[in-house]
A and B are shown apart, each in its own frame.
Chain A
Amino acid sequence: MNILHMLFEILIFPGFAFVLFTALFFHWLDRKLIARFQGRIGPPWYQPVADLIKLFSKEDILPVGTNEVFATLLPLVSFAFVMTASFYLPFAVPTTQSFEGDIIVVIFLLSMPSLLYFLAGWITSGVYSILGGNRSLLQYFSYEVLFLLAISGTVITSGSWSLAGIRSAQLTSGSYFLPQLLGFFLTVSGLIGKLKRDPYDIPKAKSEMVAGPLTEFSGKKLGLWQLTNQLQTVVGLSFLVHTYFGGYWQMGTVGGFFTFYLLLILLQCLLSAISAIYARFRIDQLIRLNWYALIPLALIHNLFLVLK
């Protein structure tokens, strides 16, 4: 019975199936919101599922000169990384045991897909893939640093390297969202880079890079890449909720679950609005913005938190 219960938790709720469903739902929400911001109608609710089914049933083509083993492994592995990360970020009910330092593990698991994304560009032989891969690596060194620095603000204040510790610290002190508003927005900026959403979609800028590293992928592999990205969005957002809105925890199991979901939706609205408002950055503009403005800002912010 206990094993069945665990299996249910891992595979269905709040595990695998539920996370996947959430990812697809948020992908739809994102598209719908952007469409509404742009004065369009937007897709029906089942569109992400339909897209996925379509991609998975399409013929899988790889150009000559591509390492087939890697091309198959990369999307699978990056999907696995993000999926694993999702188990550390419980949706309402803590399933996995939180341990000291698990926040590092989650950050690692969330940044791996970006590296694999770069590799995906590198193993295929197309010009766009290689250029897009280079760009994604360049971008990686700016937003990743920012993300780490900004998120460590919460670690400093709570004095704990575990997600559970950060959460419970917020139970007594209230959510970090308001006191660390600056840190929150810096983290969001880093997260947008991680997710390669507009305006940070430089590696896959359609107007010059076609689809960046994923140009040569098709069929199931492309579907898996897209699913990874959608999962990454949800996992990244719930990471934000855990670190900056930890106070939701006191709402109890059911109330907490709904508050959590509501917060996720609100954050998704924020991301969609940012996507709709800004033009794509140029890679040099992005790096300048990150290294000259945002990263120093995050450092000062952290210094301030330490001294306080």
Chain B
Amino acid sequence: MTRIVVPIGPQHPLLKEPISFLISLDGERVVNSSLRLGYVHRGIEKLAQQRTYVQNVYLIERICGICSHIHTTTYCQAIETLLGLDVPRRGLYIRTLLCELERIHSHLLWLGVLAKNIGLDTIFMYSWRDREIVLKMMEEISGGRVSHAVNIIGGVRIDLDADRLTMLESGLNDLNGRVEELIGTIERDRSFAARTRGIGKLTLEDVKSFCVVGPVARASGLDIDLRRDAPYAAYHELEIEVPVMNEGDVWARSMIRMREILQASRLAKQIIRTLPKGPVSTTAPRKVPPGEVVSRAEAPRGEVFYYLRSNGSQQPERLKIRTPTLTNLITLPEQLKDVQMADVSAVIAGVDLCIACADR
């Protein structure tokens, strides 16, 4: 049997961002696959060494177009730790609120991408329509739909008045109803299950040995969530449930992400109800003392890792960024083994890739 090598990417309707897969087929079955990164490598780690700490906040925000806020959160909290700064609680709460809104936005976007890839355009349209609600909420409170520029070193830039809080609460209620409807649909829909169940399986051992993070790990039975296990921002004061499933396939990943949307909206409501009074930020000193700091946060896709080293000058000496996509990408060749060509799209979508994040 002759093998056909199918190139997917760097430009392909399946991919929203440039990455390149080479998939060897035996008939319709995938025998081998390899991938290549670097098409959107912008050298942000190097750039960050040439900019001041404050400028970097805005640079870091542009790593990702979906989870921009979590990057600045991780970066700002690293510097705040270095400075020994006490960020006001209200600031931390608002920061956390944005994190959760962003999680909702990211997961809804992901559901649309998966649905599109398995040819279920209706769910794609519905989930992106519902995503609009959360985008509008974020725009209303921060002025930006995806790049919010909310975080500053020492707190946040925006404050929420009573009107905004009511707006958020009613928006979240609206969203909740719609998301529950979406979950009901994809849980019951047999054609959705036929295209996602048993596909892209990862066992608990695979997940551990590949250091997988985020919903992909949780769908394989690994109970890990930094919001609960290493709380940052205001998470230690909030009640968090971590949904975990054992199937390890694309279906389990979708269910995990859908439940995380509901969980995130519960968290957001909790924050709105218990928002402490006081200032939202504190003045940060210009000079960052020399030192090293490690900062982690749970992005919608999993653990974001920042390592920051300061030598006492205006610019960071080294800023290492590791995004969850880079970690989860390693499992793709493993997951793609022996699947049907038609399932490649479901598998690739199931991991929830953010190539701009992985390339930096």
Contacts and interface: CB of A to CB of B under 8 A. Distances in A.
Direct contact of A and B (CB under 8 A): yes
Interface of A: 34, 37-40, 127-128, 130-131, 135, 198-199, 201-202, 205-208, 210, 276-285
B230 interface: no
Question: Lowest 3 CB-CB distances: which A-B pairs, in order?
Answer: A280-B119, A38-B125, A207-B345
A131 B119 contact: no
A38 B119 contact: no
B342 A199 contact: no
Contacts of B340: 282-284
A282 B25 contact: no
Q: Which of A198, A202, A280, A283 has the most chain B CB within a 10 Å cutoff?
A: A280
Interface size class of B (residues with CB under 8 A): 20 to 34
Given A128-B6, A130-B4, A205-B119, A39 B13 contact: no
Contact of B118 (A39, A277, A279): A279
Contact of A131 (B25, B118, B192, B195): B25
A292 B80 CA distance: 64
B189 A279 contact: yes
B129 interface: yes
Contacts of A131: 4, 6, 25, 341
Nearest to B12: A210
B194 interface: yes
A158 B208 CA distance: 66
B344 interface: yes
Contact of A276 (B4, B8, B122, B343): B122
B44 interface: no
Contacts, number: 83
Contacts of B5: 127
A63 to B, nearest CB: 14
A127 B119 contact: no
A280 B120 contact: yes
A285 B345 CA distance: 16
A127 B5 CA distance: 8
A121 to B, nearest CB: 13
A39 B7 CA distance: 34
A205 B125 contact: no
Given A207-B14, A279-B191, 5 more contacts: A38-B125, A131-B341, A205-B345, A207-B345, A280-B119
Interface string B1-36: 000111110001110000000000100100000000
A208 B342 contact: yes
10 contacts: A39-B125, A127-B7, A198-B119, A206-B119, A207-B117, A207-B118, A208-B8, A279-B194, A281-B191, A283-B340
Given A127-B4, A210-B13, A282 B122 contact: no
Contacts of B14: 206-208
Contacts of B118: 207, 279-280
Given A201-B119, A208-B342, A279-B189, A127 B13 contact: no
A277 to B, nearest CB: 7
B132 to A, nearest CB: 11
Interface in B27-83: 28
B119 A199 contact: yes
A85 B121 CA distance: 32
A283 B343 CA distance: 10
A226 B25 CA distance: 29
A279 B6 contact: no
A34 B126 CA distance: 12
A168 to B, nearest CB: 40
B116 interface: yes
A131 B8 CA distance: 13
Contacts of A38: 121-122, 124-126
Contact of A39 (B8, B126, B189): B126
Contact of A278 (B8, B191, B342): B191
B119 A277 contact: no
Contact of A283 (B115, B126, B342): B342
Contacts of A130: 4
A277 B118 CA distance: 12
Contacts of B4: 127, 130-131
Nearest to A130: B4
A67 B287 CA distance: 69
B128 to A, nearest CB: 9
B120 A278 contact: yes
A127 B6 contact: yes
Contacts of A280: 118-120, 195, 342
Nearest to B11: A210
Nearest to B120: A279
A276 to B, nearest CB: 5
B309 to A, nearest CB: 42
Contacts of A279: 115, 118-120, 189, 191-192, 194-195
B122 A37 contact: yes
Contacts of B28: 135, 283-284
Interface string B151-194: 00000000000000000000000000000000000000101101
Q: Which of A128, A202, A210, A282 has the most chain B CB within a 10 Å cutoff?
A: A282
B190 to A, nearest CB: 9
Contacts of A283: 28, 340, 342
A128 B120 CA distance: 21
Interface in B243-291: none
A93 to B, nearest CB: 38
A207 B195 CA distance: 13
A303 B260 CA distance: 52
